[in-house]
Amino acid sequence: MFPIASIAHVVLALLLAPLLPGVINRTKAWFAGRRGPRLAQTYFDLWKLLHKGAVYSRTTNWVFVAGPIVGLACVVTAMLIVPLGGVPGFLAFSGDFLLLACLLGLMRFFTVIAALDTGSSFEGMGGSREVFFSALAEPAMLLGLTALAASSQSLSLSSIYVLIGTQASLSSAGPAMLLVAAALGIVFLTENARIPIDDPNTHLELTMIHEVMVLDHGGPDLAMIEYGSAVKLWVLGALLVGIVVPVRSGHGAVDLLAGVGGMVLLAVFTGVVESTMARLKLLRVPQFLVAAAVLSILALVLVMR
């Protein structure tokens, strides 16, 4: 029933996802003239965190414990839906892109209420920013995916992405695809808390968005959050790579290899963006995200015309 390539994609993604932050950090180190951490550093970090105990504040209750678990469960489920270029997702059904947005939203919701559960005003601030920015990023993503759906006349991510890059779709909707790719690129950077929206390295209270919310988690909880965000990087990256790397050979193995190669290139690209750009002013971020939504709407208009 399930094509072997889809299963291989899910397994590979779950195994290789922690490699992506490593590639990003290595690229940033190269730009800064440092040697940088090992590519597999995230695996070592996860291993170390899993062998530590967790400390729970007395003000927290089960919500704080549930946050990382639900988050990881959501993003792994999302992984099952997402196709990688020509490789269809493990699960594919009509309207699954709505479920994808829903799962990412649920993950965010639990991260935020776990942060609020600590009772720290600092984490509440981070949660407020996270929710604000993703409320603006979500329309951009959904409208972009709707444009793709409209161009391929189907409502399932897997069948949408199989058609991208074929001669017919290039000649009818080439410019629209580029617009969607740009919009999804902005969503990718936003949702993964990357420069120019958020700085994953900063620990300065005035600038943090995502890092703030996970400050009180430790040990296995933090490991789940770190692993979850690596998988999320892969999930959103796969949506982008599916458009930008139009390899549709029909051979599962070839498509899969092209897709994984595309993911690594995307990580390098993210590293380049992080090394060459500065963070946007907090007040300019909403405008940036509205611009992404505008690009998506423009793509939708082009496709529907």
Contacts to another protein by CB under 8 A: 170-171, 174-176, 178-179, 286-287, 290-291, 294, 297-298, 301-302, 305
Residue among 210, 184, 201 nearest 266 (CA): 184
Query: Closest CB to another protein among 39 and 291?
Result: 291
Smallest separation, CB 183 to another protein (Å): 12
Q: CA of 106: how far to CAs of 99, 100, 111, 214, 239, in Å?
A: 10, 10, 9, 16, 19
As measured in angstroms, the least distance from the Cβ of 182 to another protein is 9
Q: Kindly tell me which of 14 and 178 has the beta carbon lying closer to another protein.
A: 178
The single-letter code of the amino acid at 122 is F
Residue 16: how many other CB atoms lie within 10 Å: 14
CB of 178 to another protein, least distance (A): 8
Find the shortest distance in angstroms from Cβ 305 to another protein. 7
Q: Which is nearer to another protein, 49 or 179 (CB)?
A: 179
* Closer residue to another protein, CB minimum distance, 176 or 231: 176
The residues, ordered by sequence, that sit 6+ positions from 94 with a Cβ below 8 Å of its Cβ are 154, 155, 156
CB closer to another protein out of 186 and 260: 186
Q: What is the DSSP string of 197-259?
A: T--TT---TTT-SHHHHTTT--THHHHHHHHHHHHHHHHHHHHHHHHHS----S-HHHHHHHH
User: Minimum distance between the CB of residue 286 and another protein, rounded to whole angstroms?
Assistant: 7
Tokens 């629209």 locate to 176
3-class secondary structure, 84: strand
